[in-house]
Amino acid sequence: MLLHLSTWPEVETYLQTSQGIILPIGSTEQHGPSGLIGTDAICAETIAKGVGERTQAMVAPTINVGMALHHTGFPGTISLRPSTMILFIRDYITSLVKAGFHKFYFINGHGGNIHTLRAAFSEIYTYLEELHYPHAVRVRCQVANWFMCSSVYKLAKELYGDEEGSHATPSEVAVTQFVYPEAIKTAFLSPEVGKGHKIYGSIDFRRRYPDGRMGSNPALATKEHGQQFYHLAVEELSQGYLEFLQGD
């Protein structure tokens, strides 16, 4: 069930049997010369919809801008500052808590969101307690990174070895090819690719990673691989969501 394609009475009815909701979160950021700017949001949204269908869960609208400040040296990237994102997530969750939701399962497509999301969760628990929200004590937030599912990681290693890299990876590019085959892009990819540098500001990032990739070879991606990654992630995260719902 997609929240944005539901009516308020349908949401009210859903809440009588479940207080859980899945929130896809990605980023709008460069993904190398051949990867789509929307890669992280596309992957999170597609997999979240699959998990929602499998588990009969409500899926919130995709949060498609995240914390990508270090990518802003490349045109097309849009980022929130961590402090903005914390407040954004807090308001988002507070609205849903008010409606009666308690369990928030973020399906995340961007590594750069993880720290800020965890900080936002701490902020939210305290905020709701201090406001004496009636169900504050029952609120639970969790972040599940599709690209860190053990089955996904294993397949990526088998297919790509070290060329999976850590940004603009063939696995994430493959998922976007599966979802949008009409938008598959090709580009010259230099065999020399930056890897292993620490991340500081956006100027330094572009200097260290001149074409935006981090150790990856996205030319290895195929839409058939993308379909395999999709199924593995949906399977593993559906299990994860159901366990999260059952936990106290």
Contact set with Zn ion (CB under 5 A): 39-40, 172
Sign of the Cα torsion 84, 85, 87, 88 reads positive
User: Shortest Cβ distance from residue 52 to Zn ion (Å)?
Assistant: 21
Nearer to Zn ion, 139 or 221 (CB): 221
DSSP state of 201: -
Residue (172 or 211) nearer to Zn ion, CB = 172
Closest-approach residue to Zn ion (CB): 40
Q: Which is nearer to Zn ion, 133 or 153 (CB)?
A: 153
Query: Toward Zn ion, which CB reaches closer, 40 or 236?
Result: 40
CB of 14 to Zn ion, least distance (A): 31
Running DSSP on this structure, what letter comes out for residue 186? -
Three-class DSSP labels, 53-64: HHHCCEECCCEC
Phi, psi of 140 (to 5 degrees): -135, 130
Instruction: Name which of 26 and 52 has its Cβ closer to Zn ion.
Output: 26
β partners of residue 78: 28
CA distance 111 to 117: 10
Least distance CB 56 / Zn ion (angstroms):
28
**What are the φ and ψ backbone dihedral angles of 40, each rounded to 5 degrees?**
-65, -35
**Nearest distance, CB of residue 60 and Zn ion, angstroms:** 20
